[in-house]
Structure 1
Amino acid sequence: MDALLLFLICLFLLIFIRVPIFASLGLSSIALWIYEFGALEPAVFLQRTFAGLSSFTLMAIPFFMLCGELMNMAGLSKRLVVFAQNIIGWVRGGLGFTVILTSMFIAAILGSASASAAIIGMVMIPEMLARGYKHDFASALVASAGAIGPIIPPSIPLIVYGVIAQVSVTKLFIAGYIPGILMGLVFMVYTYIHARKYNYPAEKTPTLKELALSTWQALPTLMLPVIIMGGILGGFFTPTEAGVVGVLYALLIGLTLYRKELDYRLLPDIFIKAACNTAMVLMVIATATLLSWVLTLEHIPQTVSRIMLTLTDNKYIFLIVINLFLVVMGMFLDSVSGITILAPVLLPAATSLGVDPLFFGVMMAVNFSIGAITPPVGLNLYVTSSIAKIDIVSLSKAAIPFCFLIFAVLMIMTFFPGTITYLPALMR
């Protein structure tokens, strides 16, 4: 365990001095190897670093990234906001409800926590402040609702977990719906209670004409997740091929129906941005693959598994301990990094206690969604803070209730695993 301690010290020291996460993982892995085995052959290092990227399933990541960028530039957020507001904005605190519902819609298109928070924040935070919402609450709600992004498919963290754990990405996608919807519902309950306490207004009830018009305008955007998941479930294409279909659909409607927003001259910039975002994710996966290989040679997953099993042989106590551990780790690691590093270490212990690997993957993704709204690495906090012009400390305090709400959803999932496994079981 001395080697593991050395690795953890190196990793968190590098993260603390703001070395990029992929470099922190790679350098820590090299330090661990040298400590145990001496010099590392460069060819072996390079081979193992990129071995984890040679997966057909991982090709879905750049396509879903590009699809999200295309739909974002096509102005989907404004149409979805109007649609969501007409559906539920007439309830007290209706703008808060609109933020949550729109985030759930956008999550089904982008699958990114920070992108959802950025898109919704730019549109909704000024509107909420103009209607008397507290600055810290409005900002925290946007940041927290954006955290639903990696849970509702398409989800980059679930794709990564599927590759690592050899679990069907299609079933992981299906399993993400109920937890994502639960998160949205508990956020809505809290928003309603908060709205009654501070007397936030309800928006006007839309006319049938306004409702029909907003539905018609949002329909092309709403059809994208239907086409993606419908095609996957219908067996017409794989999740990777679904990413290609999503890009083609986004290009089609963007350059025709939404051509005023999505000018063809913007396409090079969109492709470059999607490529940069994809590169960041894949570099983390590449260096984390090297780490997993070194940890396996050190028999660390087996050692951790034995230690965990000596603490308890009760599945539920084990899962509660793991949830608490992952919440802490989520403060320092983003979801892709955390899943890539910890899934190979924790999954053997979980499966030995009869935990479904499908359940465990979704549980990990929900855990790391808490990390998106907790310092010091919570990206949603920094994105929302810059948009709302609020200091990070005030925003972090306001986000605490939402962290507890997500943890409550985790406990529901833990004691009622059917919330995750029920829908995938229908596919058998």
Structure 2
Amino acid sequence: MVIAITFLIIIVLVLLNVPIGISIAIASFIYLVTEGISLAVVPQQMFEIVDSFPFLAFPMFMLVGSLMNAGGTSRRIFDFAESFVGHLRGGLAHVNVVASLIFSGMSGSAISDAGGLGAIEIEAMTERGYDNDFAVAITAASSTIGPIVPPSVPVIIYAMAFDASVGRLFLGGFLPGFLMAIALMIMVFIYARKRNYYRSAFPPVKKIFVNFYRSLLALLTPVILLGGMFSGVFTPTEAA
């Protein structure tokens, strides 16, 4: 009952436009006071939760995504994806999905995807006449592939919290991630035909090979990470 009231307090405060962090803090404080829990226990519990070697993978994979964005790797992935699916109707929207699928194998985070690769995707789509609302929507939707396809940060947190196998959870994320990408591309195809979006010509073979060569190291990153983890060469934390 007390927990239900705590969640209700959070919802009410959020509806009153109180920042989410402050809402959670207020509700948590009320819970501690009503349950008679010593405030000295709070920092101890916070430290015990994060005092875990596998949890280091959480910030490290996000750091990898940020470094990829800062180093221009996101642009190379985008160009590579455009070489293969950019000629389809609504091509850049398809590129958006494929690029996010590739990038998700490096960062495991929707935030890294949307923050770095998403900026490139939205700018490119709006410059070529796509609706800004559609560009933002497909970018936000494709970014959610990141937490599903390994190395997924939420999966690592779940595995640590419930003492589950990270490797098996990663294996379980492949099929849903690919199915999600396919579903998004089908939706894009239908929407692009309805709006009669521009369809570009198939790129020269030379351009495909050039973009593949420029993005080769980036494409090998998820192969190395996942291959090493599944073969037992290193743990998810060591991979990060």
Find the partner of 2:42 among 41, 45, 49.
Answer: 45
Quote the offset at 1:102 in angstroms: 0.5
Whole-angstrom CA distance in 1 between matches of 2:181 and 2:171: 17
Whole-angstrom CA distance in 1 between matches of 2:24 and 2:93: 38
- The question of 1:184 aligning with 2:181 is answered yes
Aligned residues: 239
Decide whether aligned partners of structure 1 residues 48 and 121 sit closer, same or farther in structure 2, where only a CA change above 3 A counts: closer
Q: Deviations over 1:323-365 (max 9, x none)?
A: xxxxxxxxxxxxxxxxxxxxxxxxxxxxxxxxxxxxxxxxxxx
Quote the offset at 1:129 in angstroms: 2.5
Q: Identify the residue that residue 147 of structure 2 maps to in structure 1.
A: 150
What residue identity is the alignment partner of 1:161? Y
Decide whether aligned partners of structure 1 residues 45 and 126 sit closer, same or farther in structure 2, where only a CA change above 3 A counts: closer
Q: Identify the residue that residue 51 of structure 2 maps to in structure 1.
A: 54
Whole-angstrom CA distance in 2 between matches of 1:89 and 1:215: 14
What residue identity is the alignment partner of 1:100? V
Contact 1:97 1:191 in 2 (8 A): yes
What residue identity is the alignment partner of 1:12? I
Whole-angstrom CA distance in 1 between matches of 2:126 and 2:83: 19
Q: Deviations over 1:24-51 (max 9, x none)?
A: 4444233223223x2x323322212222
Output aligned runs, 1:204-215, within 5 Å: 204-215=201-212
Whole-angstrom CA distance in 2 between matches of 1:65 and 1:125: 21
Q: Identify the residue that residue 283 of structure 1 maps to in structure 2.
A: none
Contact 1:104 1:148 in 2 (8 A): yes
Whole-angstrom CA distance in 1 between matches of 2:63 and 2:112: 12
| Runs of 4+ displaced beyond 6 Å | none
Contact 2:156 2:166 in 1 (8 A): yes
Q: Deviations over 1:255-281 (max 9, x none)?
A: xxxxxxxxxxxxxxxxxxxxxxxxxxx
- The question of 1:141 aligning with 2:138 is answered yes
Output aligned runs, 1:26-425, within 5 Å: 26-36=25-35, 38=36, 40-243=37-240
Whole-angstrom CA distance in 2 between matches of 1:170 and 1:124: 31
Structure 1, 182-191 or 128-137: larger mean CA deviation: 128-137
Decide whether aligned partners of structure 1 residues 70 and 88 sit closer, same or farther in structure 2, where only a CA change above 3 A counts: same
- The question of 1:12 aligning with 2:11 is answered yes
- Could you say what secondary structure the match of 1:42 adopts? coil
Contact 2:149 2:174 in 1 (8 A): yes
Q: Deviations over 1:185-215 (max 9, x none)?
A: 0000010111111111222212221111110
Whole-angstrom CA distance in 2 between matches of 1:52 and 1:163: 10
Contact 1:94 1:203 in 2 (8 A): yes
Whole-angstrom CA distance in 1 between matches of 2:79 and 2:174: 23
Whole-angstrom CA distance in 1 between matches of 2:29 and 2:10: 11
Could you state the TM-score of these two structures normalised by the residue count of structure 2?
Answer: 0.92
Q: Deviations over 1:7-36 (max 9, x none)?
A: 112222444443353x54444233223223
Whole-angstrom CA distance in 1 between matches of 2:102 and 2:34: 48
Q: Identify the residue that residue 392 of structure 1 maps to in structure 2.
A: none
Whole-angstrom CA distance in 1 between matches of 2:158 and 2:25: 19
Give the unaligned 5+ runs of structure 1.
244-428
Contact 1:95 1:203 in 2 (8 A): no
- Could you say what secondary structure the match of 1:204 adopts? coil
Give the unaligned 5+ runs of structure 2.
none
Contact 1:111 1:156 in 2 (8 A): yes
Identity %: 37
Whole-angstrom CA distance in 2 between matches of 1:153 and 1:93: 27
